[in-house]
Structure 1
C-alpha cells in the first residue's frame, strides 16, 4: 500500500493505572483496506488500547494521529463517525432494535432507509422481525450483531472491534468473519480487531501481540500462500 493511504498512526503510546504500567511504547500504523489484529494474554491491555484509539480514554504518553492530525485536536463526534468502536458487551439503547439502527441516521439528519436495515439483518443472519424486538430480550450474540450493524449503517474509515464474536456460535462467527473481510477488501475499510480466536488471528494481515507485564508489543505479518 502507498504511504499516503495511512489512516492511523500511534507513536510511543503508553497508559498507566496508578503505579502500574499497562501499555508502553506502542507504535504502529493502520492503512485503508488493512486488517490488523491485537492479541495477547488477559490483562495485557488489549481492550485499553482499543479504547485509546477510539478516543474513549486518553493515553498517559505518546501521540495518535488520524489522517495526519493529532486526534485530540479533532471534534470527538466527527472522529467517532470515522473511527467506529464496537465493544464486546454492546451498549444498546432505546427500547427496540429499530431504535438502535435509526440512531446513526438521526445524528446525521437523514431519513432512515428500512430496506438497508433488512439487507443488513439478512447479511448477518438475523430475521427482519427482530427490528421490533425489545433489546432486553436479545441474546448476547444478537446484541453483538445488532451493534455491528448499527456501526456499519454509514461506513467508517476505521472499524474497531473488541471480541465482537465472543457470544456467537461457530457458524455465525464464520459469517461475521467473512463479512468483515468483505468490508476490508471491497469497501477499503481498515479494521483493528481484538480477539483470542485462532481463525481470526490466521486471517489478519498483521498481528500485534501485547506482552504481559512489560506492556510492549510485537507486530508480525501473516504469510500468505
Structure 2
C-alpha cells in the first residue's frame, strides 16, 4: 500500500493566545480528493494553511511524503504543494505577469502558446493574456490564479473555498479543471461551504471548534 502523502499527528495551533486547532490527526493517501467542511471560524482555513506551510503548528507534527514538513525548504515544498486562496492573489500588472511567474522561478522561458493554452483550459481567451488585472472580474481572477497554480502540475492542490462567489458557469469550469487534475493523480484537499460540493465529496472531514469532528467516506 502506498505511503500517505500527508500524516497529521495531534496537530495544534495557538495564535495570539487563541487556540485555533487542537489534536488534529488524520492521513491523506496519494491521489485522494479530501473535502473539509465546518462552520465559519471552526479552523478549516487554519488547517489548510498549516498544510501549505503558511502557518507552523505549535504542537504535533505534519509529515509530507515520508518526511517531517519542517525539514523541507519552503520554496521547494510549495512547488509540490500548491495553495489557492479564497480571494485570488494576483500580482504585477497583467495576466501575463501572473502566468509567467511559475516559469521565472524555475528559470524557464514561457511561450505564448503555453500561456494561452493555460487560459483556454479555464475557458479564457488568448486576448486575456495582456489584460490588466484590475479589469478582471472576480471569476476571471480566480481562474487566472488557478491556471497559474496548475501550469506546473503539483503533487497536492490545496483549495481554500475557491468557488465562493463564482457564478454557476465559472464554478462548473473550475470543478471540471480540478477533477481533471485529480484524475491524473494530483491529490486535492479542498475547504468548502458549498452544499453541492459537500454532497459529492469523495471523502469528507468536518472541523468544529478547532477539532476534527467527523470523518466520512
- For residue 219 of structure 1, report the CA deviation from its aligned partner: 4.1
Give a deviation string over 1:9-39, Cα, whole Å, max 9, x none.
Answer: 1111111234432211111112221100111
Question: What secondary structure is seen at the aligned counterpart in 2 of 1:15?
Answer: strand
RMSD of Structure 2 on Structure 1 (CA): 1.3
- For residue 99 of structure 1, report the CA deviation from its aligned partner: 0.5
Q: How many residues are treated as equivalent by the alignment?
A: 217
Length-normalised TM-score, structure 1: 0.92
Identify unmatched segments of 5+ residues in structure 1: none
Give a deviation string over 1:82-135, Cα, whole Å, max 9, x none.
Answer: 001010112211110000000000110111132222222122111211111111
Q: Which residue of 1 aligns with 2:2?
A: 3
**Residue from 182, 185, 192 that aligns with 1:195:** 192
Identify unmatched segments of 5+ residues in structure 2: none
Q: Report the Cα distance in structure 1 between the residues aligned to 2:121 and 2:196, rounded to whole angstroms.
A: 20
Q: Which residue of 2 aligns with 1:51?
A: 49
Contact 1:206 1:219 in 2 (8 A): no
Alignment of 1:1-225 (within 5 A): 2-4=1-3, 6-185=4-183, 187-212=184-209, 215-222=210-217
- For residue 182 of structure 1, report the CA deviation from its aligned partner: 1.2
Question: What secondary structure is seen at the aligned counterpart in 1 of 2:5?
Answer: strand
Q: Which moved more, 1:17-26 or 1:68-77?
A: 17-26
Q: Report the Cα distance in structure 2 between the residues aligned to 1:207 and 1:144, rounded to whole angstroms.
A: 24
Contact 1:45 1:210 in 2 (8 A): yes
Contact 1:177 1:200 in 2 (8 A): no
Length-normalised TM-score, structure 2: 0.95
Question: What secondary structure is seen at the aligned counterpart in 2 of 1:13?
Answer: strand
